[in-house]
C-alpha cells in the first residue's frame, strides 16, 4: 500500500464584506484547505492506483475538519463546497482523480450527508500553479446564488513528485447575488440537483 507523506498544509479563509454594493449583514466566508503530499506513482505508469484512495481517506476527513474549524466550528454554517487537485510535473492527470472519492465523501460525511455532487477540477502544473476551485450549494447543484469559485495555490508546490489536494467550503451565496435562478429557500432536496 502506498504511504501517505504530507509535506505541508495551507488553510486560507476569505471574509467578504462587500464588493462595491451594500455591506452584507453576514459577511461571506470562503475557506480552502490544501495538502501537499508525495505522489507515490510519479515518474512511471502504474496500472493499479486505486488503493491510494483509501490511504487518502483520513487526510480528506482531517482537511474537512480543519475547514469547519476555520469557519467557526459549526458544520451547519457551510452552504457551498468544491474540490480540486494539482498534479506535479512527473505525474499524470489520472492521479488527481484519486482525490474525488476521499475528498468528496469526507466533506459530505462531516456536513451531515450533503446531497449535491461536489464540483471539481484538476490539472497538471508546476509549483505556484493556481487553480479555480468550483463551488456549488451542498444540497442542490442548481442553486444559482451559490455558483462560485475560489482561487487557491501555494508558491512552492506541487513539486514534480507531489500532489496538491484541495477542499473548499463556503458559508453562503455570492456577496451581492442577484442573477435569479433557483434560490436556496426553494430547494426541494431530493435529488441533489434542485
Binding residues for another protein, rule CB under 8 A, total 22
Does residue 6 bind another protein (CB under 8 A)? yes
Backbone angles phi, psi at 40, to 5 degrees: -70, -10
Least CB distance to another protein at residue 49 (A): 22
Does residue 49 bind another protein (CB under 8 A)? no
How far is residue 122's CA from residue 146's CA, in Å, rounded to a whole number?
21
Largest CA distance in the chain: 54
Helical ranges in the chain per DSSP H? 51-70, 93-97, 100-110
Query: Closest by alpha carbon to 110, among 69, 142, 147?
Result: 69
The residue within the footprint of another protein, chosen from 10, 55, 61, 193 (CB under 8 A), is 10
Query: Closest by alpha carbon to 110, among 158, 44, 163, 66?
Result: 66
Query: Closest by alpha carbon to 139, among 114, 107, 173?
Result: 114
Looking at 8-16, 101-109, 111-119, 162-170, which segment touches another protein (CB under 8 A)? 8-16
The residue within the footprint of another protein, chosen from 12, 55, 115, 124 (CB under 8 A), is 12
Footprint of another protein on 100-139 (CB under 8 A): 130
Does residue 16 bind another protein (CB under 8 A)? yes
CB distance 19 to 31 below 8 Å: no
Does residue 43 bind another protein (CB under 8 A)? no
The residue within the footprint of another protein, chosen from 17, 46, 126, 190 (CB under 8 A), is 17
By C-beta, is 84 or 140 nearer to another protein?
Answer: 84
Does residue 163 bind another protein (CB under 8 A)? no
- The site for another protein (CB under 8 A) is made up of 5-19, 27, 70, 130, 151, 153-155
Amino acid at each position: 500500500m502506498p504511504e501517505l507523506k504530507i509535506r505541508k498544509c495551507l488553510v486560507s479563509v476569505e471574509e467578504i464584506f462587500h464588493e462595491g454594493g451594500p455591506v452584507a449583514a453576514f459577511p461571506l466566508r470562503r475557506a480552502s484547505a490544501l495538502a501537499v503530499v508525495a505522489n507515490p506513482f510519479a515518474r512511471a505508469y502504474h496500472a493499479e492506483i486505486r488503493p491510494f484512495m483509501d490511504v487518502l481517506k483520513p487526510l480528506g476527513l482531517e482537511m474537512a475538519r480543519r475547514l469547519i474549524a476555520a469557519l467557526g466550528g459549526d458544520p451547519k454554517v457551510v452552504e457551498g463546497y468544491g474540490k480540486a487537485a494539482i498534479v506535479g510535473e512527473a505525474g499524470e492527470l489520472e492521479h488527481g482523480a484519486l482525490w474525488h472519492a476521499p475528498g468528496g465523501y469526507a466533506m459530505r460525511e462531516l456536513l451531515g450527508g450533503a446531497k449535491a455532487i461536489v464540483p471539481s477540477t484538476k490539472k497538471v502544473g508546476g509549483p505556484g500553479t493556481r487553480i479555480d476551485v468550483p463551488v456549488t450549494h451542498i444540497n442542490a447543484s442548481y442553486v444559482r446564488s451559490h455558483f462560485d469559485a475560489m482561487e487557491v495555490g501555494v508558491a512552492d508546490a506541487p513539486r514534480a513528485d507531489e500532489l496538491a489536494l484541495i477542499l473548499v467550503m463556503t458559508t453562503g451565496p455570492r456577496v451581492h447575488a442577484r442573477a435569479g435562478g433557483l434560490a436556496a429557500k426553494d430547494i426541494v432536496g431530493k435529488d441533489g440537483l434542485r
